[in-house]
Structure formats: C-alpha cells, structure tokens
Amino acid sequence: MARMRFVRELQRRRVFRVAAAYAVVGWLLVQVATQVFPFFELPNWSVRLIVLVVLAGFPIALVLAWAFDATPQGIVRTDAGTPVRGARRGAVFVGLVGVLVAAAAGFGYWRWHAPGPAERSSAATSAPTAQAPVNDKSIAVLPFENLSAEKENEYFASGMQDEILTRLAGIRELKVISRTSTKRYESRPDNLKTVAAELGVAHILEGSVQRSGDAVRVNVQLIDARSDTHLWAQTFDRELKNAFVVESEVAQQIADVLKVQLSPRESQALAMTTTQNSAAYDHFLRAEFLLRRAWDTFEDADYGGSSREFEQAIKLDPDFALAYARRAYDQLGRHWQNRRLSNAEMEEVKGWIDRALKLAPDLPAAHAALGYYHYWGFRHYDAALAEFDRTLQLAPNSIDALSGIAFIHRRLAQWSEALDSLRRAMELSPRDNLLSSETGTTLLILRQYADAESELRRALDLDPGDTNAKDFLVRTFLFGHGDVTGARKANTPPPPWRIPYHNTLAGDLLDLVNERVYPDLFERRFDEALQQWDSAPRGSPEEQLTERVARVAIKVIANDRQSLQGECAALAPMLAELARKEPDSLSVLQQTSWVELCLGHNAAAIAAARRATEVLPLKADAYFGVYQAEGLAEISARAGAPDEAIRLLGQLLSLPAGESVTLERLRRDPLWDPLRNDPRFQKLIQDGAEKVGP
C-alpha cells in the first residue's frame, strides 16, 4: 500500500511528466551539441561535458518536480494533498529548469577546470589555420588509394600523389598543404568538410591508382569541400612508360579549374617531365617511399635502401636531375641523423647536386638539397639561407625550405624568428607532428615549460610514435618540473632505441645514458638504470660501444669506479683508435671523456670534453653547442675542476638552454653531487637566475 501511495504521489506531482519532458529537452540539447560544436571547432570534450551534465541534471529535475510547481501565480511549493494545475506547462517548465541548472553546473565546471590562457596559447600556436579565413585557392592532395592487386604497389600510388603535390607546390598563387599533414587521412574520407577544416583548405584532391603489368589507370577528382561539390574528375589510362605524364596533366587541370594565373616559368615547370625512362621512374618512386621510412626510423638500413634505389634510377637515366637532387638530400639526412659521411662521401654528394643543377638550374629540389648541404654538412648558415630563399622563389609551398629556415634561425640563437618561421611552416602543414615537436623543443629551450609540454603532447596526439616528441617531453618533466613520475608516463610505452641518432647529439649525459634510462638515474636507482640497457640492441659495433660507455657513466655517477677499471682499460684503446680516424667526432670525444674520467685521468677527460666545445662552439650552434658546453661542465664537476664547471653552469643558466641546464636539474640530478656543497653552486640555485624567452 505504501508503494502504491508513493507512485500515486509521483503521478500527482507530475514527476513522470517532468522526467519525460527533461528527456526530450536533454536529447535535443545533446543533438545540437554534436552537430553544432564541431562546426565551431570546439574540442571533443565539450560535447562529452554536455552529455555528462544532462545526465547529472536528471535527478535535479526530479527533485525540483517533487518540491515545486509552475502556476499562473509563479513558482510555488507543492504540498502534500494540494492539487497540481497546469500540469503539462509546469512539467515542461520544471524540466527546462533542470536542464538549465545542469548547464549552469557544466559552465561552472568549464570555468574552473578548462585550460588556462597559458595552456590555450600553445594550442593557438599549433593550429594557426583554425582562426584564419580559408583561402579560395587552397588545396590538399589526399593519399592516393592503391587499387592494384599487388599491395606492394603502394609505393607507386604514394609516389603519384607526391609528384602531383610537388608540382602544385610550385604555383605561387596556390596554398598547398604538405604531404606530411595529408598522409594522416584516408584516400576517400566520409567527412570531407572536417578534413578540409583541419587542414585549412577549400579544395580536396582525391585519387586512386591501379597498376596491372604495363597498364596504369589513375582516377582523380577535385572537390570543393565547403559545398561538397565535384569540380572536376578524370580517368587516365596509360601505359607504364607514359604514366609519369599524368602528373603534369593533373596539375595543369587543377590550375585551370581553380583559375590560377600561371607565370611562364610555372607553366614550363608544370609541363616538364622528370624522366622519359619508365624503369628509372619506378626506381625513383621506390626510393622516395624508402626515404620517407628512413625519416621515420632513422635506421641506417632504410637510408641504404633508398640510396640504392636512387642509384638504380640514375644508372637507367643519367640525365634524371630530380633523382640526383633527392639522392643528395637522402644522404645528407643520413649524415645529420644517423652517421657522419666521410669527406669523400660529402664530395660525392656535392657532385650529385652540381649535376642536378646543371641539368635543371631551376629545380627546387636541387636548391633545397644544396641548402641542406651547406646547413647539415658544414653549418654554413648564410649560404644555406640563400638556397632556401631561392627554393621558395621556385616552390613557394616548400616545407623543406621553410623548416630549414626555422632551424637555422634556432642555431643562430634567433629564437623569435625561429618560432615565426615554424608557424609559417605549420600554415602549410597544420597536422605535421615534426613541426609541432620542433616547436615544443624550441619552447623547452626557452624554458617555457607549460607551452612546450602542450606542443609536444600535440605532436604525440598526431603521431603517438613520435620518438623526438617523447624524448623532449621526458626532458620537460625531468628538467623543467623535476617530475620523475610524469617523465616515466611520457615515455610509456618507451620508443625504440635510437643509439646512432643520440650519438649525433653528443655532449649531454642524458643523450649518452638515453631518455628511457635517465629517470632511474635521476632518482638514484642505478641498478635499475643498468638493467634498462639489457634491452638495448647490440647489432652494430657502434651500438655495442655506446652501451658499454653508458654503463660506465652510470657507475661513475653511482661512485662505483673501482669495479670499472678493467672495462675502462679495455675501452680506452678502442676509443683512441676511433679518435685517430674521426678526430672531430662529438660522440667519440664524449665517450672518451667518460672513460678517461673512469680511469682517473682527469686532465685527459677534461681535454676531450673541451675539444668537443671547440669542434662545435656555442657561437656556431646555439642549439647543439649547448650540449658540448654542458658536457664540459659535467666532466669538470667530476674531474676536480669545480671552478670551470660552475662558470659554465652560470653561463648556461643565463642562456636559452632549458632542454639541458635548469634549476630543477641542478637541485636533484646526482650528476652534480660533487658540486653540491660548494657555496658558489648553492648560490647559483638560490639566485634562481634562469634565462626565460628570447
């Protein structure tokens, strides 16, 4: 009986009607949020928040329905036994009140928990096209679908897309999104408007490639993404020997449809064929496919594979200018990221560039390669900038040139210019994790830790496998915040070991010990740090040597030199032989300094570390030069030269060096234990003088 009376009371107070009204109004609110919020580019969490607050408001609406009613006389309290009038209107009104209360709660949550201005600032930086009006003459070329029966023909479809994009990138009047950003999308996405909005373009080019024997079919269609209107579509059936002509035809058709005014040079560049040899072209496309893989892995085997394919293309067509230029770029990347080329190898690379420019003086790829030859090969920044400027004259949408300019500004300590150039590059590549990662790294160097973290996380959102972003996010937590737990989470799951790549950064102990190991060393868990190295690859002699020296450094920091004497005595002649062959190798100099320190040869240890600062001084490279200066400070601190160590640390604290020397690191890292009781070192920390910003 009591249950029946309660149900009747619920009916009398119109609680069931309010529940129904609330459900209808709440459902409508959720539908509006899901349809409208993406249009205004509001984050996904805002839609989820609406759903949560609507659910949370449901019991509030029921309580209000039980206690109150809307009448012509206003809101009145519902007493037991009092008739309830205006039931439908009251039910709807109370339901709306419930939704409004829930919405107010949601707004309060957003007001107090949404990202603050500092957190939002880097988001605005990382998506510069979000607020900008869309250029009518802007286009993104999405990945071409491989419809061939043989899935290994993916390289062919990818190459066709890339070559069309490259030709379009040479048109000054067009804004062309880079391949790095478009590769994240499907060939034929269902949500074209969303894709176009994320890329900041008005037009999308879709395509597919089907290859069977010597026959090739290429389907392309140009779409105005704003109205989902097909502007142009065509099918090209060609024999393989004529397939490369399709790229010129497609680019020309797009220019015509978008009513682009081409200069005579642009018209000539669009019509030019890179080679008449279909077999050479096939090897070239294979080489480009492997080159993109090498830039993802930094593996020497991938660089070797791409180089062999470029070589085959050139053998089949000795006048293939683009193949010479791209082969040079390929090997320069190997030199910078993986292993140093010999002087003879660098001369050979220069010969390829010279050959490309002789065959095609206005080839953008050749000028870009020459720019990187000056930059990566010799740090001749003025000559490199001149070539990158020339590249942009020939190909205004060249990301290679724009990013090269940004990175040179960074090495010249022109930090504001570096960030400006990175933002310009991100306008053409808004979904490029590399650019986000490098922006985050630059902000970390400037000790803008919150913005650096935000940008590095954006890079990882775009590519969870971005090892560079993970590496510098670890540094942000360890050195910027002193947060070991955050550093461990940032590195979970850990990225693949990249020992040769880390050796190119040599100087800083972290790069020798490795980011995946350093949180253990930071917490003085030396045994765990040594165990981490058990999972490292031991394929090449270089990798084996690096592991052995890293273990030596960890034990030296742990004050366990006694057990190392035999190992260090064995390593010393090996490093001396390498130093004889490569006297200016930064990694050899760094490893030598730690082994000499282990043996108690303090003067030799300091001499090796000082030689590294002469090979790459701060004045020659404000980015990598910091690592050499810090390396000398590290060795000096442990080799009984505190004056030199403290002088260098004071200098580095006054410079943008947030990826390497910070107050948090000085306070906590056992690396600096020998200086800990020195009043001058304590004063450095107490003064808290870190250079922040440009």
C-alpha span between 50 and 39 (Å, rounded): 16
In the predicted structure, residue 78 carries a pLDDT above the cut 50: yes
Percent of the chain with pLDDT over 90: 59
Residue 387 has pLDDT above 50, yes or no: yes
| CA 275 – CA 297 distance, rounded (Å) | 29
Give the model's pLDDT for residue 435: 95
CA pair distance 179, 434, nearest whole angstrom: 12
More confident residue, 586 or 187: 586
Amino acid (one-letter) located at 297: T
pLDDT of 676 reads 96
Report yes or no: 230 and 215 within 8 Å, Cβ to Cβ.
no
Phi first, then psi, for residue 256 (nearest 5°) are -65, -45
Per-residue pLDDT, 246: 86
How long is the chain? 694
- Tokens representing residue 523 in the block: 């917490």
| Contact assessment for residue 270 and residue 139, using Cβ atoms and an 8 Å cutoff | no
Contact between 429 and 177 under an 8 Å Cβ cutoff? The reply is yes
Residue carrying structure tokens 């062309």: 176
pLDDT at 550 over 60: yes
CA–CA gap between residue 252 and residue 651 (Å, rounded):
56
Dump pLDDT digits (tens) for 555-572.
999 999 889 999 999 999
Q: Locate 380 and state its tokens.
A: 């001749």
Which residues contact residue 565 at a Cβ distance below 8 angstroms, ignoring those fewer than 6 apart?
A: 598, 599
Cβ–Cβ < 8 Å for 504, 298: no
pLDDT band at 128 (very low <50, low <70, confident <90, very high): very low
Instruction: Read off the amino acid at residue 533.
Output: W
pLDDT greater than 60 at residue 132: no
pLDDT of residue 247: 86
Would you state the pLDDT for residue 85? 46
pLDDT for the residue 4: 61
Ordered by where they begin, the domains of the chain are: 2-114 (no CATH), 138-273 (3.40.50.10070), 280-467 (1.25.40.10), 497-687 (1.25.40)
Determine the Cα–Cα distance for residues 375 and 42; give it in Å rounded to an integer: 41
pLDDT for 112 beyond 50: no
pLDDT of residue 86: 45
Q: Among 161-165, 243-247, 441-445, 657-661, whose mean pLDDT is lowest? A: 243-247
In which band, very low, low, confident or very high, does the pLDDT at 449 lie, cut at 50, 70 and 90?
very high
- What pLDDT shows up at residue 46? 56
Predicted confidence (pLDDT) at residue 239 exceeds the cutoff of 80: yes
User: Quick check: 187 pLDDT over 90?
Assistant: no
Answer positive or negative: Cα dihedral of 590, 591, 593, 597: positive
Q: How confident is the model at residue 125 (pLDDT cuts 50, 70, 90)?
A: very low
Q: What tens digit of pLDDT does each residue of 19-76 get?
A: 677 766 666 665 655 554 444 444 444 555 666 666 666 676 666 666 666 555 555 5
pLDDT at 590: 97
